[in-house]
Amino acid sequence: MKLFDLFKNKAVASSSQFRYADSSTISPDEREFYQPDNYYTFYSYPGTEMARKVITFDERKKISYPTPRGLYVAEVMLLDYCNKGKYPKPKTGYPGLWWFEYGIRDVGNALKSLEQRGFLRWAPKSSYLNSLKADELKKILSANGLDSSGKKEELIERIKQQIPEERIIIDSYVPKYELTELGQDELSINSYIPYMARSPHKTTEDDTFGEQFNVWYINKLLKGDGTNWKSVVGGIEKRRFGVDSANEDKTKNLNEANNDSAEDVIDFINKKKEFIESESKKPGDAFKWASKGYDLKEQNKLKEALVYFYIAINKHADMPAVYRDACIILRKYKMYEEELRVIEKEIQNIKWNDGPSEDLIKRKQRVQELISKRK
């Protein structure tokens, strides 16, 4: 049986979908950062055509390649998240992707393993100072009998220079990991892993509709060694999608000025209205339109990206990220009424298992508040 057939086999899914992943190794102080145990089933989207079996981390290790230093895809992704200074115990909890996409149920234990192997270490309290407000920094200085005047940068430098680590008291402090030099080097060499995780072109693990384009496929092509990944990934992108995002200068795109006003965006969208309506009615998958939109967004061509997102949305795209990113662009230009319409389309078009997410409802309420305030 092919892997894709297994994913589609609803009879298999229905017999196993309510078996929950073992959570016995999760430490008591970490439990609040996970969903309830019954969330972690062995099938995502159980009982639907999208039913997909979760491949555990141990199973992945048997069918994928480690890096030369012995790290697997999921572990490099953990390094990427730790590089942002939010793990362990992130404020919003560990997202379900660690289980459903990477097969890791106990994230905290996986992080400890990376620490023990020298890829992570505990960050000093001083690295947390930039996230504090000026009043919080002044409180730390006053508690240590030091001058609390000056700009935020001066306050931070004064704390670092004059207060020992053990005397820095931060009320909201939760120890976080940072990458060691070894971890930084590992993430740099294998940066194809976070790149593929965020690629708008990524596909499922199924070759029915052509060559795959996902992190597991690239991992097998590279045999775990990411040294030359941009050439490999860029070549596939060029052949399949007509772009070579892997080799683009992202810094250049982000630094390019985008001086469009809300009026410019509205005028552009109005001029493209006929094109949007015409393409929306034609048969075809929403995916290619969303993909093109992301290519334009990466080039900082936001109003152009919005056109392609609209076509994907009008084709009832079952892709929450498309709606969210369209909303981000609309929020940038304070186009709140249009943002609200996109959110309502998302609620209507997405195949929810238990209704719209709490986060989406909050986003809708926030936009309604912004519209009300403007009136």
Q: Are residues 293 and 343 in the same domain?
A: yes
Residue 257 lies in a domain: no
Q: Are residues 24 and 115 in the same domain?
A: yes
pLDDT digits (tens, 9 = 90+) for 17-26: 557 899 999 9
Range of the domain at 27: 3-121
- Output the domain CATH number for residue 300: 1.25.40
> Predicted confidence band at 67 (pLDDT cuts at 50, 70, 90)?
very high
CA distance 89 to 94: 7
| Ramachandran bin of 93, using left for φ above 0, alpha for ψ from -120 to 50, beta for the remaining angles | left
Q: Are residues 117 and 130 in the same domain?
A: no
Q: Are residues 107 and 131 in the same domain?
A: no
> Predicted confidence band at 11 (pLDDT cuts at 50, 70, 90)?
very low
pLDDT digits (tens, 9 = 90+) for 191-245: 999 999 988 788 888 877 678 999 999 999 999 999 999 999 999 988 888 788 8
Q: Are residues 286 and 369 in the same domain?
A: yes
Q: Are residues 12 and 44 in the same domain?
A: yes
Average pLDDT of the chain is 85
Residue 255 lies in a domain: no
pLDDT digits (tens, 9 = 90+) for 102-133: 999 999 999 999 999 999 999 887 777 777 78
Q: Report pLDDT for 257.
A: 55
Q: Report pLDDT for 14.
A: 45
pLDDT digits (tens, 9 = 90+) for 145-162: 888 788 888 888 887 787
Q: Are residues 277 and 326 in the same domain?
A: yes
Number of domains in the chain: 4
pLDDT at 47 exceeding the cut of 70: no
Q: Report pLDDT for 84.
A: 86
Q: Are residues 282 and 319 in the same domain?
A: yes
Whether 134 contacts 111, CB under 8 Å: no
Whole-prediction pTM: 0.68
